């Protein structure tokens, strides 16, 4: 049966905006205040929900760019992982996801204490108690993901945020691998050069211990100021990762150096965490000052509290982003139905998500 262009567009909009009867949310339900980040597929904006006046980070992605780079699977995996994060205090939470014909929207927890990378750049190194606190919160988040058979695969200071109280919030789940059993392996080459594990670099099968290697790299950077095998020359850095031992200077405790050696073990079958995963880290002597129950309940006072006067205080975000103009097109939808628009409109089935009505924007 032939449908006119007008009715084709109407059907597309119905499918996109009303995937569930429990909610109907659209771009113009928000005031978009500032750009706070940019990525390969779009932008992250500080937005205020008009009705509740609550602040959120809204990640807006361009469908045509995702389709061009054939990254639909990664985007849907990110959404899937976000929906499983509601039970952990150190993982960013998803409130809503929805779509228009040309864009995808993630409505996320808004965190304005800055990236760990930002604070590390300013202070060069962290003292051991501070580094231990962050490493403990990160390790508990990774352990939780592993318990759900998810491997994170992209741990780096840029993906680790601080909230306004000074707690860790792990974000950006685009490279996560779901469905990986404790003894399972995968082979996809992905990650960030400075933090790649040797087995990934060699394009060998790898398992969840890849996340413990990355944690070792981030902990080393917090304690020493640079990733353990860093070189401006990428080929040299890769050679260091494969063949050099990390330099462990004595300004770090014996327990700290021992933990780093265990996490930065090049043979993944001997790496700390290979047997009992997070439990091996939890009971390591480096973390003996940590009360894990108190940590999970956020009862431990963070060693550093970012100075923020309120949700619109953007001092910990890069001015390169915050000075950019906010596009008015965020509140509009593509109206010209072309074959590429129709392809984009139907490329992300099941993307939209909303909590039960009684939890909406609580």
Q: Which residues are annotated as a binding site for ATP?
A: 68
How far apart, in whole angstroms, are the C-alpha atoms of residue 210 and residue 175? 13
What burial letters (b/e) apply to 162-188, b meaning 16+ CB within 10 Å? bbbebbbbbbbbbbbbeebeeeeebee
Residue 129 near residue 252, CB atoms below 8 Å: no
Strand positions, DSSP E, the chain = 30-38, 42-49, 55-62, 94-99, 103-108, 160-162, 168-170
154 is catalytic: yes
Q: Is the dihedral of CA 273, 274, 277, 280 positive or negative?
A: negative
Measured between alpha carbons, how far is 178 from 60 in angstroms, rounded to an integer? 23
Single out the catalytic residue among 29, 31, 102, 154.
Answer: 154
- How many CB atoms sit inside 10 A of residue 338's CB? 9
For residue 237, the SS3 value is helix
Taking the CB of residue 355, how many other CB atoms lie within 10 A of it?
15
Residue 340, C-beta contacts closer than 8 angstroms, at least 6 positions apart? 64
Q: Which of 153, 316, 345, 275 is nearest to 262 (CA)?
A: 275
Q: Contact at 8 Å (CB) between 355 and 107?
A: no
Q: Which residues share a beta bridge with 30?
A: 49
| Segment holding 58, helix H or strand E | strand 55-62
Contacts of 316 (CB under 8 A, 6+ apart): 112, 113, 114, 115, 118, 162, 306, 308
Backbone angles phi, psi at 39, to 5 degrees: -140, -170
Positions annotated as catalytic residues are 154
């Amino acid at each position: 049966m032939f449908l006119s262009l007008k009715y084709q567009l109407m059907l597309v909009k119905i499918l996109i905006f009303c995937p569930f009867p429990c909610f109907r949310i659209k771009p113009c339900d928000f005031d978009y205040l500032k750009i706070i980040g940019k990525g390969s597929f779009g932008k992250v904006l500080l937005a205020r929900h008009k009705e509740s006046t609550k602040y959120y980070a809204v990640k807006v992605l361009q469908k045509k760019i995702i389709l061009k780079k054939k990254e639909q699977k990664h985007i849907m995996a990110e959404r899937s992982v976000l929906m499983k994060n509601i039970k952990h205090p150190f993982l960013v939470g998803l409130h809503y996801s929805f779509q228009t014909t040309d864009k995808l929207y993630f409505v996320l927890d808004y965190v304005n204490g800055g990236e760990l990378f930002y604070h590390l750049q300013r202070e060069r190194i962290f003292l051991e108690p501070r580094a231990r606190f962050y490493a403990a919160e990160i390790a508990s988040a990774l352990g939780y993901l592993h318990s759900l058979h998810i491997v994170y695969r992209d741990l780096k200071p840029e993906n680790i945020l601080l909230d306004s109280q000074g707690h860790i919030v792990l974000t950006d789940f685009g490279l996560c691998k779901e469905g990986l059993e404790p003894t399972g392996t995968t082979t996809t080459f992905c990650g960030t050069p400075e933090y790649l594990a040797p087995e990934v670099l060699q394009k060998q099968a790898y398992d969840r211990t890849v996340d413990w290697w990355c944690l070792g790299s981030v902990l080393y950077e917090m304690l020493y100021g640079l990733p353990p095998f860093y070189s401006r020359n990428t080929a040299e850095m890769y050679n260091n990762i494969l063949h050099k031992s990390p330099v462990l200077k004595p300004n770090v405790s014996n327990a700290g150096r021992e933990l780093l050696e265990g996490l930065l073990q090049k043979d993944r079958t001997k790496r700390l965490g290979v047997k009992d995963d997070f439990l091996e880290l939890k009971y390591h002597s480096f973390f003996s000052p940590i009360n894990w129950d108190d940590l999970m309940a956020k009862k431990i006072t963070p060693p550093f509290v970012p100075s923020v006067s309120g949700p619109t205080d953007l001092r910990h975000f890069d001015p390169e982003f915050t000075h950019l103009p906010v596009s008015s097109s965020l509140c509009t939808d593509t109206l010209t139905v072309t074959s590429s628009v129709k392809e984009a409109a139907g490329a992300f089935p099941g993307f939209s998500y909303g909590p039960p009505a009684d939890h909406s924007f609580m």
